[in-house]
Structure 1
Amino acid sequence: MPRQARFPVMHPDTTALIVVDLQPDFMPGGALPCHEGDAIVPAIDALLRSRSYRTVVATQDWHPRGHASFASAHPGRQAFEQVELHGQPQTLWPDHCVQGTPGAALDPRVDWSAADLVLRKGTRPQVDSYSAFRENHGPGGSRPATGLAGWLRERGIDEVHVCGLARDYCVLWTAQDAAAAGFRVRFLWELTRPVAPDGDAPTRSALEAAGIALG
């Protein structure tokens, strides 16, 4: 049985919750399953139903067919191989979270009525997007902003708590970019799961290096 996640009853109005990519394709049996990805669903649903956060953001991986991050878009390549894309290393993934497919929906077991914003990412055919705050490197080497940082600041947010999938990719990058943007960040470890457990040690090291608190 997974350890029961604990969370405070209420947070200040200046704290937002970001739920990253809680989608069927990242669950066991999905196109790109995370290790025990479904184990966090009940606790995240309970957290949203508790209305403990005044501001809640849900991110949604939302790729067009033939996306550049898909192994199928690179003849002769296999999923989980690395290639160079726009001068940066790019992991190739199985086709996943294709726009309009059931696997790309927000998990139907969660009450999303508490979400103030659903931010779709990975929508540009040639640019991957792990983080809620910035896309991955695109043409010219830049990492375009999604606009989330400004949206949160307009709402008076100065701290973000992050959870969801996958711990070692999209949740980690979201936390790192939030910290780089000047927000205080808490990484809700028990409400995340990795693509594979061997990613946990590097993830912990990256969070410590960024000064991100675990909660």
Structure 2
Amino acid sequence: MRVRDELKLGAGDALVLVDVQQDFLPGGHLGVEEGDRVVPPLNRMIGIFRNHGLPVVATRDWHPLNHCSFREQGGPWPPHCVQHTHGADWAPELALPEDAMIVSKGDTATQEAYSGFQGTDLADRLHRAGVRRLFIGGLATDYCVLQTVLDACAQGFDARVLEDAIRAVGVEAGDADHALQQMRVAGAKLISSQDLADANV
């Protein structure tokens, strides 16, 4: 009962969707294995947060063609999530509300930004809205989700990671587990979207 009570949503809570974009889905330019599997639980969370009148935030990579993270510029990644292209669009099945808070990152050629807080005003906007607790899911566990969660904790937010609504790139074996451990050490708690849904029926 105690865990269920802790997951009751109310004022000060917000949902953060990290980079649920076409290029990170299977078949995309930087596709994450089973990346599309995060969409159904996130849609369920969107419905619950909307029903409670709580904010929904969506971060996105929004790169220029000559972004520093691209291999052509000496970076580690193939071109992905280029501004105003299909790859930068949201996952087609994602039920993103029209009034969601959209946060673009990595939108200048010389700045990499895995975290939704890096180079953006996200922290200020959330603090002004009275948000204290963040429920975070999306892509990918070992990069943008990890860094967003770490920065959320550093900014004083109570971060809860929706463990069944994230997937990892997994460049190296064990990257996903290492990322989850880093989140725990930073103070984030791992929860199930189903547990959150059950607590807020």
Q: Is the pair's TM-score, using the shorter chain for normalization, greater than 0.5?
A: yes
For residue 93 of structure 2, what is the aligned residue in structure 1? Answer: 109
For residue 180 of structure 2, what is the aligned residue in structure 1? Answer: 204
- Number of aligned residue pairs: 182
1:177 and 2:151 matched: yes
Secondary structure in 2 matching 1:112:
coil
Superposition deviation, residue 193 in structure 1: 0.3
For residue 147 of structure 1, what is the aligned residue in structure 2? Answer: 121
Secondary structure in 2 matching 1:203:
helix
Does the CA-based 8 Å contact 2:25-2:91 persist in structure 1?
A: no
Identity of aligned residues (%): 38
For residue 56 of structure 1, what is the aligned residue in structure 2? Answer: 56
Equivalent-residue separation in structure 2 for 1:96 and 1:185 (angstroms)? 27
Does the CA-based 8 Å contact 1:56-1:114 persist in structure 2?
A: no
For residue 44 of structure 1, what is the aligned residue in structure 2? Answer: 42
Task: Identify which range, 169-178 or 103-112, moves more after superposition.
Answer: 103-112
Secondary structure in 1 matching 2:97:
helix
**Per-residue CA shift, 1:111-137, capped at 9, x if unaligned?**
111653111111010111110111xxx
Please list every run of 5 or more consecutive structure 1 residues that lacks an aligned counterpart in the other structure: 1-7, 75-90, 135-144
Q: Which has the higher helix share?
A: 2
TM-score, normalised by the number of residues in structure 1: 0.80
**Cα distance change, pair 9–211 in 1 and its aligned pair in 2 (3 A):** closer
**Cα distance change, pair 10–109 in 1 and its aligned pair in 2 (3 A):** farther
Does the CA-based 8 Å contact 1:10-1:52 persist in structure 2?
A: no
Does the CA-based 8 Å contact 1:71-1:92 persist in structure 2?
A: yes
Equivalent-residue separation in structure 2 for 1:47 and 1:36 (angstroms)? 19
Superposition deviation, residue 211 in structure 1: 1.4
Please list every run of 5 or more consecutive structure 2 residues that lacks an aligned counterpart in the other structure: 1-5, 192-201
TM-score, normalised by the number of residues in structure 2: 0.85
**Per-residue CA shift, 1:7-54, capped at 9, x if unaligned?**
x99611201111000001001100001121011112212221232550
